[in-house]
Amino acid sequence: MGVLNVTPDSFSDGGSFVDAAVAVRRAGEMVAEGAAIIDVGPESTRPGAQAVPADEQIRRIRDVLPDIRAAHSDVSISIDTRSADVAREATRLGADIINDVSALRDDPGMVHVVHETGAAVILMHMRGAPTTMQRDPRNLMYDDVVGEIMAFLEERAAFAESRGVARDRIAIDPGIGFGKTVEQNLTLMRRLDAFVELGLPVVVGASRKSFIGAVLKQDDPSRRLMGSLACAVAATLAGIHVIRAHDVAATVEAVRMAHAIRNATP
């Protein structure tokens, strides 16, 4: 899953793809590099980010999604939003996956959009909100970080099913970097196999995140490639289904190699 943020303030590539033509060109590059999904983000969910009104999010995707869909009919497009209005319009413009970091909690209408449009949905775990989630994550305590997040994701998947969303349209994401300490993120990365055992497709987005910077003493997100690739390999060896990444070409190669190792004859 290639990351395409059409925002001015995303933590790694904010401002790079606000021009629709540039964004569409970058989507084409990621497809050529091996991306099977393009994840279009009209609202930053980086730590400290402020909410963006639905009409502004829609303005940011209006000239991007149709051109990506027209040029790449065999690629899935996900819309990274917490807004039901944005999700509904995005599916009309060509998106077929709704990537909701709030797991259908922030907007009561979102589950109805998922059901009515037949889109797939990614349910992600997040403690707090983007504006506050990393202000002091030490205060966001877990007795059992893996077990509690697994229980949360199971509950949200059950909620979606109870509202008519087919189970085979649901994926889950443990929310690396969303309201977790460095140590908690590392624990989640080490125990990703537990999430696979829940029987739903699992998405992991560790690319360029601050816990990698903390481990490698690298403040610049664009210089966290090696750490991001290590996380992608670890996720692949754990059986994760979708790797969300900024550096698509390098990640695809790393994942292919890890996949070959994982599936080698014992």
CB 127 within 8 Å of CB 177: no
In sequence order, what are the residues at sequence separation of 6 or more whose Cβ sits closer than 8 angstroms to the Cβ of residue 98?
78, 79, 81, 87, 90, 91, 110, 113, 114, 119, 120, 121, 122
119-157 burial: b if 16+ Cβ within 10 Å, else e = bbbbbbbbbbbbeebbeebeebeeeebbeebbebbeebb
Q: Return the active site residues.
A: 209, 244
Is residue 263 pLDDT above 80, yes or no? yes
CB 218 within 8 Å of CB 187: no
Q: What is the pLDDT of residue 131?
A: 59
Weakest mean pLDDT among 1-15, 16-30, 178-192, 194-208? 1-15
User: CA torsion angle for 156, 162, 163, 164 (degrees, to 10)?
Assistant: 110
Full set of structural domains in the chain with CATH: 2-259 (3.20.20.20)
DSSP 245: B
In sequence order, what are the residues at sequence separation of 6 or more whose Cβ sits closer than 8 angstroms to the Cβ of residue 10?
41, 44, 46
Most confident of 1-10, 12-21, 99-108, 127-136: 99-108
Q: What is the pLDDT of residue 14?
A: 47
Q: Read off the pLDDT of residues 82-95 as tens digits, 9 standing for 90 and up.
A: 999 999 999 999 99
CB-based burial label for 32 (10 Å; 0-12, 13-18, 19+): exposed
Q: Which of 134, 118, 130 is nearest to 7 (CA)?
A: 130
pLDDT band at 40 (very low <50, low <70, confident <90, very high): very high
Q: What is the pLDDT of residue 16?
A: 61
